[in-house]
Amino acid sequence: MKKRVKDFDDYKPSGVHYKRSFGDIMMSVITYIVYSIFAFVCVYPFYYIFINSISNNQLSERGKVIFVPLQVHFTNYISVMKLEGLFEAAKISLARTAIGTIVVVFTSAFLGYMFTSKNMWGRKFWFRFIAATMYFNAGIIPLYITMTNIKLTNNFWIYILPTAISPFYMILCKTFVEATPGELREAALIDGAGTLTIFFRIMIPVIKPILATVAIFTAVNQWNSFQDTLIYITDKKLNTLQFVLYQYITQSSSIKALLNGSSSSANIAASMAKMQTATSVRMTVTIVVVTPILLVYPFFQKYFTKGIMIGAVKG
């Protein structure tokens, strides 16, 4: 049996070196330049925010910090941690991200599995009914009235229940389940397994890639969301980190007042007011808010290609 050819080097004559043409070299150079520019455009905003958060606050306020941090210090992070309501907002963000992600992953996986079952009553109708919500929306005012009538305003569950079912993720899971061998479910049915047993003990381990994909997308959406807080929440105890950041960005003129009105002592507050500027607080809070999701994202990245490709194309 002939040795399998793995790459170009396997069938090049011995001692012969492939000489790249000028066109190949130029194409490689152009490719590297284009992707380097693209990478720079993606990374620079985060880098810019970080170097401004650790640079001299007065220089940062005047826009002097562009590429290199100036007079590096980490006082901003110590000061921002003393902002009133920051840790409470972090708890709310963590809770809504964790609970919301679990709920969406479960509902998407279970509905996606059930809609592949030929024994489900009204399967086609319910699938189309849920999928239609991707295209039709009543609007903010009717939605606000509905949430008020069912007592979800100023309620933590406003972050969870309205988005508990995602038609897009449900369709991804349904298509992924359809791509799995049907013999698995048939064998389980012959052995006497019920619907829930098949779902939890057979399907969940098989569809882990799409579940991980849905989980990270949902977690990012939950962590970054602030409009629901803006619309439905007036109780400061239910504010999220992103909403706190939104307040600092839109109300930069009152940041010093917020710092002086924190629960820390008067001396600490006065010291913080002297050191901080609106720009430094915004930059530092942005880093604090973005860092957790940046740390989690790479661990799920390996599931993206397999999860999305199999979940998006049947067969």
Share of the chain above pLDDT 70, in %: 80
Closest C-alpha among 127, 109, 84 to residue 258: 84
pTM of this structure: 0.73
The pLDDT of residue 255 is above 70? no
The pLDDT of residue 108 is above 70? yes
Closest C-alpha among 280, 266, 234, 228 to residue 75: 280
Q: If you average pLDDT over residues 90-94, what whole number do you get? A: 89
Co-location of 49 and 113 in the same domain? no
Q: How many CA atoms lie within 13 A of 141 on its CB side?
A: 0
CATH classification at residue 84 = 1.10.3720.10
Co-location of 218 and 251 in the same domain? yes
The pLDDT of residue 138 is above 90? no
Poorest-pLDDT segment among 30-39, 40-49, 76-85: 76-85
Co-location of 164 and 231 in the same domain? yes
Gap between the Cα atoms of 197 and 192, Å rounded: 10
The answer to whether residue 7 is domain-embedded is: no
> Two tokens at 176?
């992924």
Confidence at residue 251, expressed as pLDDT on a 0 to 100 scale: 62
Co-location of 52 and 197 in the same domain? no
Confidence category of residue 311, pLDDT binned at 50, 70, 90: very low
Co-location of 62 and 93 in the same domain? no
Confidence at residue 308, expressed as pLDDT on a 0 to 100 scale: 52
Q: How many CA atoms lie within 13 A of 103 on its CB side?
A: 16
Domain total in the chain: 2
Gap between the Cα atoms of 313 and 315, Å rounded: 6
Q: Residue 41 is part of which domain span?
A: 19-73
Q: If you average pLDDT over residues 291-300, what whole number do you get? A: 76
What does pLDDT average to over the chain?
79
Picking from 54, 73, 92, the residue at the C-terminal end of a domain is 73
Confidence at residue 14, expressed as pLDDT on a 0 to 100 scale: 53
Confidence at residue 37, expressed as pLDDT on a 0 to 100 scale: 93
> Two tokens at 293?
């999701």
The answer to whether residue 4 is domain-embedded is: no
Gap between the Cα atoms of 56 and 122, Å rounded: 64
The answer to whether residue 12 is domain-embedded is: no
Highest mean pLDDT among 82-86, 193-197, 249-253: 193-197
Picking from 8, 41, 73, the residue at the C-terminal end of a domain is 73
Co-location of 137 and 185 in the same domain? yes
Q: If you average pLDDT over residues 114-124, what whole number do you get? A: 84
The answer to whether residue 6 is domain-embedded is: no
**Tens digit of each residue's pLDDT (9 = 90 or more) over 146-165:** 899 998 889 999 999 998 99
Co-location of 102 and 44 in the same domain? no
Confidence category of residue 313, pLDDT binned at 50, 70, 90: very low
Q: Are 93 and 241 in contact (CB under 8 A)?
A: yes
The pLDDT of residue 182 is above 80? no
Bigger pLDDT: 185 vs 30: 30
Co-location of 274 and 201 in the same domain? yes
Co-location of 102 and 224 in the same domain? yes
Closest C-alpha among 118, 201, 103 to residue 160: 103
Confidence category of residue 271, pLDDT binned at 50, 70, 90: very low
Confidence at residue 98, expressed as pLDDT on a 0 to 100 scale: 92
Co-location of 35 and 140 in the same domain? no
The answer to whether residue 14 is domain-embedded is: no
Give the gyration radius of the chain's Cα atoms: 26
Co-location of 165 and 62 in the same domain? no
Co-location of 45 and 155 in the same domain? no
The pLDDT of residue 260 is above 60? no
Picking from 73, 90, 110, the residue at the C-terminal end of a domain is 73
Confidence category of residue 34, pLDDT binned at 50, 70, 90: very high
Q: If you average pLDDT over residues 270-278, what whole number do you get? A: 54
